[in-house]
Amino acid sequence: MSNANTTQAPNASGAELSRNVTSGFLVSLIALPLCLGIALASGFPPIAGVLTAIVGGLIGRFIGSAPLTIKGPAAGLIVIALGAVTDLGAGDMAVGYRRALAVGVVAAAIQIGFALGKVTKYMAAAPPSVVHGMLAAIGVIIFAKQAHVLMGVTPHGKKPLALLAEIPWSVLRDNPEILAIGVAGLVILFAWPALGKRAPALGKVPAPLVVLATAIPLGKAFGMTTPHDFDAFGRHYHLGPEFLLTLPSNLAKAIVTPDFSIVFSGTSLKYIVMFALVGSLESSLSVLAVDALSTKKEASNLDRDLLATGVANLLSAGIGGLPMISEIVRSKANIDNGASNAWSNFFHSAFLLFFVAAIPGLLHLVPLAALAAMLVFTGLRLASPKEILHAKKVGLDQLLYFGVTLVLTLAEDLLVGIAAGIVVKVALHAVRAGTLAALFRTGYTTVREANEATIRVTGPATFLALIKAQAALAIGKDPTLRRVVLDLSKAPLVDHTFLDRVHAAAREWPNAELVVTGHERLAAVSDHPHSTRRAITARA
């Protein structure tokens, strides 16, 4: 990635400052309810989510290399965080929370080591279908857990599949007033984009803010601040403050220190690995996605950005916060709202700090069902059937990797699911290439003439060959080049990940155009332009 220094003090005057302040404010309105909900779903105190975003914005502004990304807690880490709190606490969530913070500190130190060791190039080579399968599984798990909260029911099950199976039973036992708040939130979240298209002024108002603006009056109308019972539909129900958000009276009370007493136990080490690997992977891929959304050609330095993430996670875990990543949804909103540099991230943090300091009483009136609605919506988006259809469109092989990762993540855990998806991919490629060893013998030869360069690939062009490919493709960053030809005529196998990442890298070149040739002689597994291609004589 580019080593250009993108952290120099930007021009923060006039119209540019106004755009970044405005974007920071609007992103903070999106971030506030999401941070509260993610923390709650993770088994952390709700305020910990906001604390995390505040730290992330400050560190990201002054250390990070991805100026338009917003750092903070993410739905993709809910499963790991909740698992850490539950397993490390052995039934005591308060103890588990402090022990999970210790896990976060060590994982953050490992992330810093990853950044200094420049290992993000390996993360950028991660197969998209495996990553999407992981995220879809996370979406299913979030939905399975939060659907019960949305209905005001405490389920008996603990595992994702058991929680899914229990949803019909919870529907029959739902608290109607809590369900009304949750359903209202879901309707708003699903309908708001369409309303925004018809009324652009409405579209500028973040949907999560509208959910809160609707849920708080409903909670007041239902008398949720006072414990009481009521009868409806022939049944007896209870309602009270336990269904509302609980926050400390000031931020000083939110500071919690880690408990390192069992940080080197087998369970702790498991979650340290999961936080470090999955968090780093998600964060790096989010930065790549934000770079693709940005109109700027200059690419972020992934190692520098991971360093900022690791430092921010170290500080966040040290004072009671959640693990964080460079988050894609808030980052996209940042770009859409006209942000031009890292000051928008700073102002996003500043506004969050103001909200929790100035209006804790108002935030205490937020029904938990409203936050659950946002998380259910997020889970449904992560596990959308569109992801399955997209994987199938790219090729049945991608659908296989996606499905294996999804199923084994649900049945076991994230590490097992990701590992299984990659193993299946490598095994299938080994069959297609003839031997496993052949996958690691890919070579690159570069020939330059005037303002054109030709990169000839010898051997299988798969995700395993992307590290060498990144080094070869770096020539495209030369501003004097106008054309780079990637010659795949001697590649017996070209996979989807390779083609996808190569074209993504080319989008960041200042002037050069990428031309891929030679792969048309291979048989494509689907009509998708980036589908896997193999020699017709191959065995699979």
Q: Which two tokens stand for residue 72?
A: 């903070």
Q: What was the pLDDT predicted at 295?
A: 65
Arithmetic mean of pLDDT, 526-536: 91
Give, in words, the CATH class of 437-534: alpha beta
Q: Is 62 helix (H, G, I), strand (E, B) or coil?
A: helix
Question: Could you read off the pLDDT of 467-484 as tens digits, one per residue?
Answer: 899 899 999 999 999 999
Radius of gyration of the chain (CA): 24
Phi and psi at 32, nearest 5°, equal -55, -60
Q: What is the pLDDT of residue 357?
A: 85
Q: Do residues 120 and 303 make contact, with C-beta atoms less than 8 angstroms apart?
A: yes
Q: pLDDT digits over 40-88, tens only?
A: 999 999 999 999 999 999 888 888 777 888 899 988 899 999 999 999 9
pLDDT over 90 for what percent of the chain? 66
| DSSP per-residue string spanning 117-149 | TT-HHHHTTS-HHHHHHHHHHHHHHHHHHHHHH
Give me the residue spans of the domains in the chain.
15-377, 387-433, 437-534
User: What's the pLDDT score for residue 298?
Assistant: 66
**Rounded Cα gap, residues 305 and 294, in angstroms:** 16
Distance CA 81, CA 97 (A): 9
For residues 459 and 465, is the Cβ–Cβ distance under 8 A? yes
- The 10s digit of each residue's pLDDT in 169-199 is 999 999 999 999 999 999 999 999 898 888 8
In this model, does residue 288 exceed pLDDT 90? no
392-419 pLDDT, tens digit each: 999 999 999 999 999 999 988 888 999 9
Report the chain's mean pLDDT, rounded to a whole number.
Answer: 89
State the Cα–Cα distance between residues 492 and 359, nearest whole angstrom: 62
Query: What sign results for the dihedral spanned by CA atoms 29, 184, 363, 37?
Result: negative
- Summarize pLDDT for 124-176 with one digit per residue, the tens: 888 999 999 999 999 999 999 999 999 999 998 888 889 999 999 999 999 99
- Please report the DSSP string for 8-29 in residue order: SPP--SHHHHHHHHHHHHHHHH
Q: How many residues does the chain have?
A: 540
The model carries a pTM of 0.86
Task: Quick: pLDDT tens for 224-238.
Answer: 999 999 998 889 999
- CB 408: neighbour CB atoms within 10 A? 22
When pLDDT is cut at 50, 70 and 90, the band that residue 6 belongs to is: very low
In 12-114, beta strands by DSSP E: 70-72
Q: What does residue 523 show for φ and ψ, rounded to 5 degrees?
A: -80, 125
The token duo for 188 is 């708003």
If one compares 14 and 409, the residue with the highest pLDDT of the two is 409
> Chain-centre distance of CA 223, in angstroms?
36
